Structure 1
Amino acid sequence: MKRLLISGLLGACMLMGIAGCGPQENGMTHEAIYANLDDKVKTALERSNDPKDIDKEFKKRLTAIQKAADKIVTVEGDKIIVTHKLGTTVMPKEHKRIVVVRTEDPMIALDESFIGANFNEKSYLYNELSNRNVQNFSINDETKTINYEQIQALKPDLIIMRDSYGKAAYNALSKIAPTISVNVNKEEVALLTIAKALGVPEKGEARLKEYYSQAKKTRIALAEHMQGETVAFLRILNKEIRLYPYMKSDLNVFMAELLNIKPPDMVLETELNPTNNAISLERLPDLDAGYLIVSAGYGASSANNQGVADQRLANLKKDELWKNLPAVKADHVLQVDSTLWMAHGIIAKERAMKELYDTWGE
């Protein structure tokens, strides 16, 4: 009866979207949480870290990525056609002056040349972009306003944009040059889509295999070191503390899907209501993860005050609630750069994996 009551209340919360029904209020038992998880999450929790099993898993994953990219990019005679979220684009025969709008990560990962991008010194790819002599154009990130005049001045013959900038931006960019859009939140599909669109699918597939090789190495090392301990990812913002879900957040889903990192119950709770992942200080003692990843603040393009978030984390570290967390007591806390960890792209994820490996895998 208790389980049915909890399940019913949870369902009501999810249907009504009540903010107060987040993880800070539920305090559900392990049994109640597990009973309400969807089958995808349950299957993920039961995966093996045996090298042969990982190889089979990643081979199946690559096949799924290829199928997803094949739906987006098709070849008709001598034409390459990209059917994306914002429209349908026939690729130009030549593309020697490519401009990217927040798709520099997959382009650099593929080692494809491009002439223009928006970036600043906080970018995790700043050195690579500077060394390539990529021209910088401006974007107002608060309004997502792109400086089209600056892009036009670069005389691009192809533009590759992040699809979250929307239809109006796509229409404006398409007047300058043929434009395709990709969902960078799906890093692997985005990379292979771009590779296929540029006529180098084999390069994309080879690059993904490199990516999976690093993931396998990191996964095995972490499993051996952590010995079944759980991991949680906290993000400290100006006005709240967020506990990220296990598989329903694009920011850290790679830890679940590729690295098979196990979550504590409190993280699994957020799977049941991922729209509200803010937690209260009063609920913090329930976070019994053996390892903790913590970031403060925002990504490289954010206009929010990073200093406020940094100070909030500094104050939190002085709190007895924080000091008594199992991960803190065991010195198993990794503070990471939000600029990198909030980014989308396989280079960003590879660097995050390296950080995990260097800290807890050796």
Structure 2
Amino acid sequence: MKFRYFTILSFVLLIAVLSACSGSGGIASNSSRDTVTVKHDLGETKVPKHSKKVVVLELGFIDTLLDAGIKPVGVADDGKPKFINEQVRKEIKGYTSVGTRAQPSFEKIAALRPDLIIADSSRHSGVYDKLSKIAPTIALKNLNADYQDTIDASLTIAKAVGKESEMEKKITEHKKKLKQLKEKLSDKKQSVLLLGNTNEAITVRDQNFFTSQLLMNIGYTYAVGDSKKSDAENGESVNIKMTVEQLLEKDPDVIILMSGEKDKVDQNGKRPLENDPLWNKLSAVKHHKVYKVDRFAWSLRRSIDGANAVIDQIEHDILK
């Protein structure tokens, strides 16, 4: 009798264990169906499929999210919304500033209870673990991104939010736009340089920068090579520093002068550099091939939409 009792009891317990295992497997399976594993610069992360509440810690990621039909709930905008393209600002109206790109506020990010955080792999590598404790976090290049890095990051973000096909279509359209402009430039072999701040020294973007590579993809030759990476705060690459004499040695056919809020200008709106006799010896100056553009648009908007905006400005203002 006792033997029969223990046999029945053992059978019941076995059924219970198997049921529990089956239930556990079911949970794991559901969890797998509800997430997607995303490879990024700092590893692999399981993120919820179709994330809706997303925080971005670099400005270039905003466009990509909008292309995927998602408005970020939080943006590290340095407390300066004007860094963001005016039309884009309207589209993301109501977002919460989560501090600076260099030092985002963990408290503000956590308060938003995001489904996903998109960080910059150079700026935020040191705080990646802290961000991951708040929400699933992927880290991609934007601060020091070149053109291809930007394309790759767009596809990764699209995968993270379940919009890969839409992003592939966006990239195809962009490539077509780029090719059409390249055909217009095909018979014009011109060298170009991107100049930034000119207050104390002339600062030039190197050929690995996002916009520099975009210009080369369009058909320009970039007039300088690589710069050395700096060990400065935030891991930002240092612009190539030049004197007017060194700039004259390069003597590019086209100069893109990126304007910014810190530039010193005289009452006529000219920088001191533009009154230097050597500046007026440059081929670009002599042939009226110096173009002033907005630094935020040409430097901070590292995205497919940012690239398209640069292409449009080249076609309408520079190749006019």
TM-score bin (small chain): 0.7 to 0.9
Say if 2:267 is the partner of 1:307: no
Is residue 121 from structure 1 mapped to residue 77 from structure 2 by the alignment? no
Structure 1 runs not aligned, ≥5 long: 1-75, 298-305
Contact in 2 for aligned 1:115/1:133 (Cα 8 Å): no
SS in 2 for 1:159: strand
Against the structure 1 CA distance between its residues 359 and 87, is the aligned structure 2 distance closer, same or farther, given a 3 Å change threshold?
same
Contact 1:296-1:310 at 8 Å conserved across structures: no
Identify if the C-alpha distance between structure 1 residues 238 and 116 changes in structure 2 by more than 3 Å, giving closer, same or farther. Answer: same
Match of 1:262 in 2: 221
Structure 2: tracts of 5 or more residues without a match:
1-30, 230-238
Structure 2 counterparts to residues 179-328 of structure 1, below 5 A:
179-184=137-142, 185=145, 186-224=149-187, 227-245=188-206, 247-256=207-216, 258-263=217-222, 267-268=223-224, 270-271=225-226, 277-297=240-260, 306-310=261-265, 314-328=271-285
Q: Is the alpha carbon distance of 1:180 and 1:155 closer, same or farther for their aligned partners in structure 2, counting shifts above 3 Å?
A: same
Q: Once the 2 structures are TM-superposed, how far is the Cα of residue 206 of structure 1 from its aligned partner? A: 0.5
Change (3 A) 1:320 1:261: same
Residue identity in the other structure for 2:240: N
Whether contact under 8 Å (2:50, 2:162) holds in the other structure is no
CA deviations on 1:131-183 (whole Å, 9 max, x unpaired) are: 33342223235xx2111211222121222222223234322222221111111
Distance 2:129 2:228 in 1: 33
1:353 aligns with 2:316: no
CA-based RMSD: 2.6
Change (3 A) 1:170 1:219: same
- Which residue does 2:293 correspond to in 1? 336
What is the CA–CA distance in structure 2 between the aligned matches of 1:285 and 1:114, rounded to whole Å?
Answer: 44
Q: Determine if the alignment matches structure 1 residue 99 to structure 2 residue 55.
A: yes
Q: Measure, in 2, the Cα distance between the counterparts of 1:261 and 1:199.
A: 36
**Which aligned pairs between 1:50-61 and structure 2 lie closer than 5 A?**
none
Q: TM-score, normalised by structure 1?
A: 0.67
Distance (whole Å) between structure 2 residues aligned to residue 283 and residue 162 of structure 1: 33
1:37-95 Cα distance to aligned partner (Å, 9 max, x none): xxxxxxxxxxxxxxxxxxxxxxxxxxxxxxxxxxxxxxx97352113223321111452
1:313 deviates by: 6.1
Measure, in 2, the Cα distance between the counterparts of 1:129 and 1:236: 25
| Aligned pair partner of 1:132 in 92, 102, 105 | 92
Q: CA deviation at 1:250?
A: 3.4
Residue 235 of structure 2: aligned partner: none
Paired residues of 2:55 and 2:117 also in contact (CA < 8 A)? yes
Structure 1 runs of 4+ off > 6 angstroms? none
Judge conservation of contact 1:218–1:361 (CA < 8 Å) in 2: no
**Matching residue's letter, 1:90:** K
Indicate the residue corresponding to 2:132 in structure 1. 174
Opposite residue 208 of structure 2, the aligned amino acid is K
The Cα shift of 1:310 comes to 4.7
Give 1:190 deviation, angstroms: 0.5
Of stretches 235-244 and 94-103 in structure 1, the one that deviates more from structure 2 is 235-244
The structure with the largest alpha-carbon Rg is 2
Corresponding residue of 1:43: none
Q: Residue deviations 1:341-361, cap 9 Å, x none?
A: 112112222111111111233
**What amino acid is the match of 2:66?**
I
Closer/same/farther in 2, CA of residues 207 and 134 from structure 1, 3 Å limit: farther
The answer to whether the 8 Å contact 1:296/1:337 transfers is yes
Size of the aligned set, in residue pairs, is 268
| One of 145, 148, 152 as aligned partner of 2:106 | 148
Residue 222 of structure 1 contacts residue 357 of structure 1 at CA under 8 Å; is this kept in 2?
no
TM-score, normalising length from structure 2? 0.75
Matched to 2:292, the amino acid is Q
- 3-state DSSP of counterpart to 2:113: coil
Distance 1:345 1:133, change over 3 A: same
CA contact (8 A) 2:54 2:72 kept: yes
CA distance in 2, matches of 1:237, 1:324: 17
Using the alignment, how far apart are the partners of 1:323 and 1:282 within structure 2?
12
Provide the secondary structure at the position in 1 that maps to 2:70: coil
Contact persistence 1:99–1:156 (CA under 8 A): yes
1:161 is paired with a residue of what secondary structure?
A: strand
- Which one of 60, 76, 81 corresponds to residue 37 of structure 2? 81
Summarize the Cα distance change of 1:196–1:131 in structure 2 as closer, same or farther, 3 Å threshold: closer
